[in-house]
Amino acid sequence: MIGLGRPSGPEFVTPPLTRPAPAVTPGVRAMAGPAAPPRGGRLLLAAVLVAAVTGGAAGLAGAAVFAGSEPPAAAALPRAAPAPAGSLAGMSATAARVLPSVVSIELRRGGGSGFVVDGRGHVLTNAHVVRGESEVTVVLGDGRRLAARVLGADDDEDLAVLRVDGAAGLPPATLGRSAALAVGEQVLAIGSPLGLSGTVTAGIVSALDREVRLGGSARTAVQTDASINPGNSGGPLVNARGEVVGVNTAIAADRGGGNIGIGFAIPIDRAAPIAERIIRN
């Protein structure tokens, strides 16, 4: 072909296009002998034979190796042994102890959280959660939905008490002492943020006696960085021993309205006497 040049090289031989006619002896019939293959054909044939022999030997060797060994087993990643029942420790054990006492509060216009404070079905929550309502629905940790009535409220302190019908035997939370809190102490906030019941978030006590506006009045509160969001209102703030030390009430929020790590809880030392008064009256 024009422009490609003439092939050349040590392994490339151009066979002759014609062969000279064999010599003929008079009276003797000319016999066509076998044509000698060109040098290039011999090289190609030799390469094919070498490849066939090598491939066959490799196949036999591979078959011998495979026959003498088991096929590889599926890889199993190492796993820890199952933890024995009842082995929860630390804040996991704390959450497990308190969660059965926490309830979700459902209303036509939203919801909140609360926690059982005695064996008679009384639930403490925020006044702003149930404002304008006389009856609400509470959802227990086991999924049961029970009717509850608003027993009373203290709007200035933003606290309210519900009475749950047919709630005998509900486990009450253990109330601690907020006066014993220390800055840096670990705490859990438990409730139903954005309707996600049984949500547990962890943090520390960021400050004590922080002045904030609750119920239209200036009040002191426990500040925490445990995540608190809409729906957490009325839920318990608990210490590492599982004792309620505050009632989650408010957050400092940016324009988006979400948690920014600054939440506030009404100290239980102030909330418990108010709950007792509402129940008594």
Domain ranges of the chain: 91-164, 174-280
pLDDT of residue 49: 41
Any idea which architecture 174-280 has in CATH?
Beta Barrel (2.40)
Residue ranges with strand state E in 53-177: 102-107, 110-116, 122-125, 135-139, 145-154, 159-164, 174-175
Which residue of the set 101, 158, 178, 227 is catalytic? 158
Ramachandran region, residue 215 (left: φ > 0; alpha: ψ -120 to 50; beta: rest): left
How far is the C-alpha of 123 from the C-alpha of 153, rounded, in Å? 12
Give the global pTM. 0.70
Q: Of residues 128, 178, 192, 206, which has the active-site annotation? A: 128
Q: How far apart are CA 130 and CA 160, in angstroms?
A: 8
- Equal CATH topology for 91-164 and 174-280: yes
Q: Indicate the DSSP class of residue 74.
A: P
Look at residue 53 and tell me whether its pLDDT is greater than 60. no
The pLDDT-based confidence of 260 (bands split at 50, 70, 90) is confident
> What is the rounded distance in angstroms from the CA atom of residue 236 to the CA atom of residue 248?
6
Check 101, 178, 227, 233 and give the catalytic one: 233
Distance of CA 119 to the CA centre of its chain: 35
Residues whose CB falls within 8 Å of the CB of residue 90, separated by 6 or more in sequence, listed in order: 240
Q: How far apart are CA 112 and CA 190, in angstroms?
A: 11
Please say if 101 is a catalytic residue: no
Task: Assign 64 a pLDDT band (cuts: 50, 70, 90).
Answer: very low
Within 10 angstroms of residue 171's Cβ, the number of other Cβ atoms is 13
Distance, in Å, from the CA atom of 8 to the CA atom of 105, rounded to the nearest integer, reads: 92
Task: Write phi, then psi, for 195 (nearest 5 degrees).
Answer: 80, 5
Residue 63 predicted with pLDDT over 80: no
CA pair distance 238, 246, nearest whole angstrom? 7
**Cα dihedral sign for 192, 198, 201, 207?**
positive
Active site residue 118: no
The helix (run of H) or strand (run of E) holding residue 67 is helix 39-67
- CATH architecture for the domain at 91-164: Beta Barrel (2.40)
Kindly report, residue by residue over 82-124, the tens digit of the pLDDT.
Answer: 766 566 789 999 999 999 999 999 998 889 999 999 999 999 9
Q: Please give the single-letter amino acid code of residue 165.
A: D
Q: What tokens does 189 get?
A: 């906030």
Is 233 part of the annotated catalytic residue set? yes
**pLDDT at residue number 281:** 87
Q: How confident is the model at residue 236 (pLDDT cuts 50, 70, 90)?
A: very high
Cα Rg, the chain, nearest whole Å: 43
Which pLDDT score is estimated for 208? 97
Torsion of CA 68, 72, 78, 82, to 10 degrees: -90
